[in-house]
Amino acid sequence: MIYISLILLSSLLTKAEDFYKNGLYKEALEEYKEFETAGMSNPNLYLNIGNCYYRLGEYGKALVYYRKGWFLSPNDPNILHNLSLFTKNQENPNPFISLIKKTIDRISLRYFSYLLVITLSLLIILISIRLIQSVRPIKLPINPLLFLASIIFIFSLIGFGIWWGRVQSKWVVVLESSVAYSGPGEQFKELLKMDEAEEGRLIRQSDGWWLVQLNGGEGGWIDSSKVSLVLEEVD
């Protein structure tokens, strides 16, 4: 039974890939979405869905799926390349900060959690040895090792905190250029125009309207059909 299911999945995937190669992006999208509907969560699947939307000119939806893939596999070169099409003008002018950000962006929340556990365990061992050294001399360069482990631990803690914040922040992408208002409805004052594929976070929701704060700091209420969460559904 499992063997038959694997053959069926392989056949559907080949069909989707053939559609894409032949420029039938809408048909390829329908096939790839079947996998998502079935509960598959895979960075390559999200990349393929994003590519279909990009080819169809639906750039907001494309970015949603590139971000989905990025959260699962932040160091995937294909996902990073496609994301760069949307984020190339968002680099920090400070080269040191930019390097730190890029490094953190390419390590997933899972690996930061592993790194935290490992470095914390190492710190406990090194501190224990340092305490023993005060009573009984041990020929081991503890201080340099403690310093290095502390730096890695602090970096891991910062990276974990950033990624955890991203997961909890209700990351959103604007699907279609729309006007944002001062309240949940068109009867309120127009504040700004949110462009397709702009990113931000969901603050709260009311009667089919979402209060969204863009990454640049500006925000307003936007029709919920014009924006999408990257990671989770909203009740």
- List, for residues 173-228, the tens digit of each pLDDT value: 999 999 999 999 999 999 999 999 999 999 999 999 999 999 888 999 999 999 99
How many alpha carbons fall within 13 Å on the CB side of residue 202? 25
Q: How far apart are CA 51 and CA 62, in angstroms?
A: 6
In the prediction, which pLDDT does 4 show?
36
Structural domain containing residue 160:
95-168
Residue 235 has what pLDDT? Answer: 40
Last residue of a domain, which of 62, 87, 112? 87
Q: Is the pLDDT assigned to residue 100 strictly greater than 90?
A: no
Give the pLDDT confidence score for residue 114 in this predicted structure.
Answer: 95
In a domain, 210, yes or no: yes
The domain total for the chain is 3
Domain boundary among 144, 168, 192: 168
Q: What is the pLDDT of residues 113-128, one digit of tens each?
A: 999 999 999 999 988 8
Least confident of 26-30, 34-38, 46-50, 154-158: 34-38
Find, among 50, 34, 63, the residue nearest to 228 by Cα. Answer: 63
pLDDT for the residue numbered 47: 96
Does any domain span residue 235?
no
How much is the pTM? Answer: 0.83
Give the domain-ending residue among 116, 150, 168.
168
Do 158 and 218 share a domain, yes or no?
Answer: no
Amino acid at site 7: I
CATH number at residue 223: 2.30.30.40
Does position 6 have pLDDT exceeding 60, yes or no? no
Count CA atoms closer than 13 A to 64's CA, side-chain side. 22
Tell me how far apart the alpha carbons of residues 176 and 197 are, in angstroms, rounded to a whole number. 7
